[in-house]
Structure 1
Amino acid sequence: MKSLKPTKYIINPPYENNNPIKFTKQALEYLEPNGKLIIIMPRTTLKNNLNETKQILKNAKLDFIIKMPEKLFREQSRTVNTAIFGFTKTKHQPQDRTIFYTLKDDGLVNIQHKGRVDKFNKWQSIKNEIMDIIISSQEKYQKRILDDDRNLDLIGVRDTKDDEITLGEIFNFEKGSLASEASQDGEYTFITASEDFKTHTNATHNCEALIYAVGTGGSLGRCHYFNGKFIASNLCLILTPKNKDEIEMKFYAKYLNMLIEQIVEDLADGAAKPTIKENELKKYKIKSINKDKQK
């Protein structure tokens, strides 16, 4: 293959056995300098193979990531959420920017015996918008993925003059303990991912806390504030302040709820039942806000 001196590859590899990252590395090896690779693979491929990704970026620039609509592909009877990754075979520099775009709807509908069809003639305008974003490199979709020290951040390095801090620097994290359907008539508050609180006969905590939903689809990212005796669902994380004197918990409940859409888009993993991993949430960066401004 290398003897053909390819300058372009478009690949849809099999998704099992870590094949996507293998195909990515192989294709880039065969490509001529400044050649282009477009490959569709699970959204988390690069994140789940950080060492290989760092090696790839020494030889290839990541031009764009287009998140595809959910439940578009199935592999071995399970849904796989995918993205299209675009590379150029030249070293990715810290100042290089990657386009991040989420295609929530491609306009196609499923029709029995025909598959996905452009029944309402939406695709052409959607395609034109995507092409315009990629070709013109629209700034609002761009982020750096390497900082000045070549540390990799696949969510994107934010260009901001504001100080940032990770949630793990602000809060202690603890997993809830009770199945969401295990409510009982009782005197203590049982907090799940749903909007309304339940009750239970036992309490595990007596404190001021945020209860953050990380394991349930429609309510993913919802943040509850509570102060008192409670027990939390095992689909939630319990966040308590590391320094009570620096944190207004009610403020952070509102702040995190304002960021739901962005956090879920950045961190949600999985297909049929997307989740947010505790370690990923701990590393998530938000604007650092002093106590006076929190009030």
Structure 2
Amino acid sequence: MIENRRWLDILTHAVLILGVAIVAFPVWVALVASTHPAGSFATGHMPLLPGGHGWDNYSTVLGSGMRGAGSEPLWRMLINSTIMAVLITAGKIAISLTSAYAIVWFRFPLRVVCFWLIFITLMLPVEVRILPTFKVVADFGLLNSWVGLTLPLIASATATFLFRQFFMTLPDELVEAARIDGAGPMKFFRDILLPLSRTNIAALSVILFIYGWVQYLWPTLVTTDPKFYTVVMGIKRMVAVAEADPQWNFVMAAVVLAMLPPVLVVIFMQRLFVKGLIETEK
């Protein structure tokens, strides 16, 4: 017999609503702050109701930018961040898929050792090897370039591990059936493995896009040309103005605009994202 505990339902919904409110409150504050003039923050009090300067703030940030603070127009930085995130996502997915495919489906000496060498790189993120990586990029003349921005961030041991684990769940009979039908290694990879990996690719793409979008340290080191500035760099430059108070209305407008692309990616990819995380049988 299942008991109907109404008080328990009320408690769980109250906890859920409280959690949503805690998460959403900073977003609401940023949204409200982006609709007020700069003078609204001179007293040190943050308004909690929308103002009437939202259109002016957003058009200024997107169009002309805060030239006095050394910031470029935000539309250019949004495009740069999008290009960087897409290149990193596509590169990580491509390399991880092919490396996991080679480790699982090909028989060659030391293939297990090769996998563990890839897996060990989880202990060496770019922040740990920042100096030698920067020196290599600088020696090859890749500063202020898309290759220098994205190539050191493309390799992903996590994605390789996840694809390997998924490929290991597929039966060997699948390969035998493909071989009987005359499918070679590339045809098997293209026509069988890629369609089966669709949900995994979608789930990882969301995570990797956000990973590329929020990068700050590496773009700051390898980029001195304003045409390669990313949106995270732009927000930091808006806040770190010299001999002046930050114009928080413009900063918050930039923050809200910077949140939109990752949010849209999560919304449009939500079904495949959840399916790729929870699906265990193909």
**TM-score of the two chains, using structure 1 as the length reference:** 0.22
More strand by share: 1
Q: Which has the higher contact order (CA 8 A, sep 6+)?
A: 2
More helix by share: 2
**TM-score of the two chains, using structure 2 as the length reference:** 0.23
Structure label with greater radius of gyration: 2
